[in-house]
Amino acid sequence: MRRTTSLRTGLSALLLLGTWATASALPASAADAPARSTEAPASPGLLSAMQRDLGLTRDEAAARLAAEKTATAVERKARKAAGSAYGGSWFDAHSGELTVAVTRAAHADAVRATGATVRLVRYDARQLDTAKRSIDALPAPAGVGSWHVDPKANKVVVNVVAAHRDDNDVRAFLSRARQAGPVMVRQTPAAPRTFAAGTVGGDPYYTGNVRCSIGFSVHGGFVTAGHCGSPSSAVYGWDRSYIGNFQGSSFPGNDYAWVNVGSGWWTVPVVLGWGTVSDRLVRGSAEAPVGASVCRSGSTTHWHCGTVLAKNETVNYSQGAVHQMTKTSVCAEPGDSGGSFISGDQAQGVTSGGWGNCGSGGETWHQPVNEILNRYGLTLHTA
């Protein structure tokens, strides 16, 4: 790719080269290794974005990032200490603590010793996951938006689109879901949709008449959303020059893909900050807990932040259900699909879809990046 002194060209080149979020020099199996501390993630720009999107002061944003980093490390130890009594965990932004659910009081002291607080619950994570898998096997009507295990509620939460809550097919689905295990119902204002968009000049990458966003650099290419292109489809950059082809793609069922990079393009371990924050270096892919802050970079709405709301959620798009998604309070719009979700300097996933927009708010799901790396045997490009 030719050099240029144009700021717009420079930023776009970074984006196309995989500046969006996670590629690691570590093998996928080691992606959850602790992040190196050579650079603090709390840049002035990141703190400003968290102040804007999460309603925090600068000091509160910095304190939250530090607490989340600690909670991420504690979660791994606490889960091991809980053993088969583990019922899930979540981060509380107000207390700054990680809470771990356990089904047996005998395990409480060992979990507390890791630095976590403890809550006794009825169902362990295996029981809840089994119930969710049973619900995954049910045909879901359009009025059911998604479902996931909520460790704090100790139940499987089914999200029903408010306008369809009284539909006969929705009621029938809920009746069958309750037979699978502990279920509670919540309402969502709109049905989920993917965030691909028609062709718009000057944006990250195109395949056919679709514009999407690059996720994370991997050695040899980048990862993105599966609904953006099918295997062998050609991919073109913001300047319409050829980058590579979709080497693998899965949607629905999953929503992930990877594209090889060549023809003068290259990869870098960076997520584009779009001038809102400084471009973010990617140093790993340790998964942030429920309740932690997370930010997203995309070609339409650029940089926005929010909170991890749920993990392992099944999302019922009009094209079919997608499993093992992470739900967040971050907004997104068409064209942001495939873009980076990052927490601090740790890659989290690629944007899939959601509801709402960045004017009125909404929720967005991402496909966890570690699953994509493991599926295709890729290695994240890290700094």
Catalytic (active-site) positions: 227, 255, 337
Cβ partners under 8 Å of residue 206, min gap 6: 199, 235, 236, 237, 240
The neighbouring-strand residues paired with 326 are 366
Instruction: Tell me the C-alpha distance between 284 and 39, whole Å.
Output: 12
DSSP helix/strand/coil, 12: helix
The enclosing H or E element of 50 equals helix 44-54
Instruction: Tell me the C-alpha distance between 28 and 155, whole Å.
Output: 31
Identity (one letter) of the amino acid at 278? S
Q: How many CA atoms lie within 13 A of 319 on its CB side?
A: 16
Instruction: Tell me the C-alpha distance between 297 and 203, whole Å.
Output: 13
Determine contact, residues 310/332, Cβ cutoff 8 Å.
no
Q: Is 323 exposed, middle or buried (0-12, 13-18, 19+ CB in 10 A)?
A: middle
Determine contact, residues 45/273, Cβ cutoff 8 Å.
yes
Cβ partners under 8 Å of residue 285, min gap 6: 22, 24, 31, 32, 346, 347, 348, 369, 370, 373, 380
